[in-house]
Amino acid sequence: MSEQKIDGGKRTWIIASGCAGAVGAGFVAVPFISSFQPSERARAAGAPVEVDISGIKPGEKLTVEWRGKPVWVLKRTPEMLDLLTKHDAVLTDPESREDQQPDYIKGPTRSIKPEVLVAVGVCTHLGCSPTLKKEIGAASDMGAEWPGGYYCPCHNSRFDLSARVFKGSPAPKNLVIPPHRYANDTVVVIGEDTKGA
């Protein structure tokens, strides 16, 4: 067995060089690994949107953007809700049997909370954005029988206050209800359903 003298200076230099190399490799790897993640733009395009609805008064509508589309949040009054069950005969799909909403959206309100409608504001005919015509009857300039709703001026499609299409409209289906959930009493999360997916 031979005895060798250990050079402490050389050992320190080797350890320091190895550590510096590892740190350098880490800096090089981070941009490479992060390039596999979706871009900020891609994340924003599909990311859920949180909406504070505490400031919306009954009868008012707020519009937000989700996945590049307008999404309406309408706080309906008791009078608006009362009218929803009185015009089924003039609707194309009053029970929303066509798959235009998540499974947990049921009934004439097409909403989780009856007073809050969350709907994608894009007409199912050619993709225009309808406008809210919440006044009823002659006051609306939509005719004496108008129960309030949305009107698409591009081709005269009409939807009620639950975004259900009226018969005779060019639009073939009700407006889309996006997946959504409530984070609390005043915040709705659009783009995430009740399971958090």
Length of the chain counted residue by residue:
197
Closest of 174, 168, 184, 166 to residue 105, by C-alpha: 174
Q: What is the CB neighbour count within 10 angstroms for residue 189?
A: 18
Q: Which of these is catalytic: 87, 125, 155, 180?
A: 155
Query: Cα–Cα distance between 17 and 6 in angstroms, integer?
Result: 18
CA torsion sign for 62, 134, 79, 86 is negative
Query: Cα–Cα distance between 31 and 144 in angstroms, integer?
Result: 63
CB proximity list for 191: less than 8 A, separation 6 or greater? 46, 47, 48, 49, 66, 67, 178, 179, 180
Which strands form 69-75's sheet, in the order they lie side by side? 61-66, 69-75, 116-120
For residues 58 and 70, the answer to whether their CB atoms sit within 8 Å is: no
155 is catalytic: yes
For the annotated catalytic residues, the residue numbers are 155
